[in-house]
Amino acid sequence: MNVMHKNKDYHLSANDIIPIELQTIRIGIIPGFNLFLQNMLDNKPCYILYNKGDHVIEKSHIEELQNNKVENLYILKSEQRKYFKYVEVALQRIVNENIDVKEKSYLVYNVAKNIMLDVFDDPRSGTNIGRTRIWVAGTVDFIMASEGASANMLSMVSYDYYTYTHCVNVTVLGLLFAKYLGLNVDSMHLIGAGLLLHDIGKTQVDSSIIKRNGRLSKDEFVEVKKHVEKGVSIIKQIGGLDDGSYYPIVQHHEREDGGGYPCGLGRNEIHQFGKIAKIVDVYDALTTRRSYSEARKPFSALTTMNGEMKGHFNLQYLKQFIRFLGSGEVFH
């Protein structure tokens, strides 16, 4: 096989590199990151530069790789974010390719993490908000059309808590739960966009409070609670979000018993999307690892939600959520 930049051995180890599916490579596009081929030398893998990041991949290159039965290329771990942004543009096509559903789920989840890193770096960017909507649309199509998507997407949920990963986890859980409940595609688009941005207001709260290890003081908690209204304010200034998508942002801390914030809404005053957002937000917070507490097992988290936190959630939706987590739809 004719290697485009042959004999350039970077002396890379398996710890420096990750495989990517050949089918994720876009023809006629400058990738922006180096691509490597794996070779075996003395029964050990070595990695040879195949294509420099500033060189276009042509159709003939892909065909040659396919003719040589190459299924994976390799990229540097340090260039993962570049790769996920590159994949993001063609995500709709990629999820319809003949690629293993687990790999598709990996790409969908990590593209979202990459988007949310950018959102939290620049929360007032209309471009980034537009990217979230496009991702939600593609993800809804994926989980509605692909057998095994629900189980594989759920398996991608991270157990380490960062605000941006929490937003992705909550959205994945919320969309899968919405599918289980039988919400239509339009409703899934609306709730998904709101869930992905539900904590954007935390970018306007002192980071030392957000990252605090342990219980907040009364004054600090007052500051944290402001993230809801600050999030709504950011989105309204930017625009581009449908009215229905605001419910998960403004209502994910409301409670059925009226003891939530920011408006103290109760029962019938809380929109369906707000009820769902409340459940998935708390569940993910309980089941992810914090610097000051270990992640709880699903059973322990649900027991707390159904017991100690009685009155926080719509009981019917909570029962449905428990059934959802134990359903064949999710785990098989």
Give CA–CA dist 205/208, Å, rounded.
9
pLDDT at 41: 80
HSE-up (13 A, CA, CB side) for residue 184: 1
CA diameter of the chain: 69
Q: Answer yes or no: are the C-beta atoms of 124 and 79 closer than 8 Å.
A: no
Pair 268, 253: CB distance under 8 Å: no
Task: Report all structural domains of the chain as residue ranges with CATH numbers, in order of start.
Answer: 1-78 (no CATH), 90-331 (1.10.3210.10)
pLDDT at 144: 93
Could you count the other beta carbons within 10 Å of the beta carbon of residue 188? Answer: 23
d(CA 62, CA 72): 11
- Tens digit of pLDDT for each residue in 37-59? 998 887 888 899 999 999 999 99
Quote the percentage of the chain above a pLDDT of 90: 70
pLDDT in tens, 149-189: 989 998 888 777 788 999 999 999 999 999 999 999 999 99
- Output b/e per residue, 266-305; b: 16+ Cβ within 10 A: eeeebbbbbbbbbbbbbbbbbbbeeeeeebbeeeebbeeb
Nearest to 227 by CA among 241, 239, 210, 215: 210
d(CA 236, CA 227): 14
For the segment 63-94, what is each residue's pLDDT rounded down to a tens digit? 999 999 999 999 999 999 999 999 999 898 88
Residue pair 244/183 in contact (Cβ under 8 Å)? The answer is: no
- Taking the C-alpha atoms of residue 98 and residue 143, their distance in angstroms, rounded to an integer, is 15
- CB contact at 8 A, 46 and 100: no
Strands (E) in the chain, as ranges, are 17-21, 35-41, 44-51, 72-76
Q: How far apart are CA 328 and CA 108, in angstroms?
A: 22
Q: Output the pLDDT for position 331.
A: 42
Q: 116-150 burial string, b = 16+ CB within 10 Å, else e? A: bbbbbeebeeeebbebbbebbbbbbbbbeebeebb
- At 23 the three-state DSSP class reads helix
The pLDDT value recorded for residue 143 is: 94
The per-residue pLDDT for 289 is 82
**Average pLDDT score over residue span 273-289:** 95
pTM reported for the whole predicted model = 0.89
Integer Cα distance of 59 and 64 in angstroms: 9
Distance in angstroms (rounded) separating the CA atoms of residues 147 and 101: 8
* β-strands 72-76, 17-21 pairing: antiparallel
- Amino acid of residue 276: I
What is the distance in angstroms between the CA of the first residue and the CA of the last residue of the chain?
Answer: 41
CA distance 201 to 230: 5
- Which residue do the tokens 């990041």 mark? 53
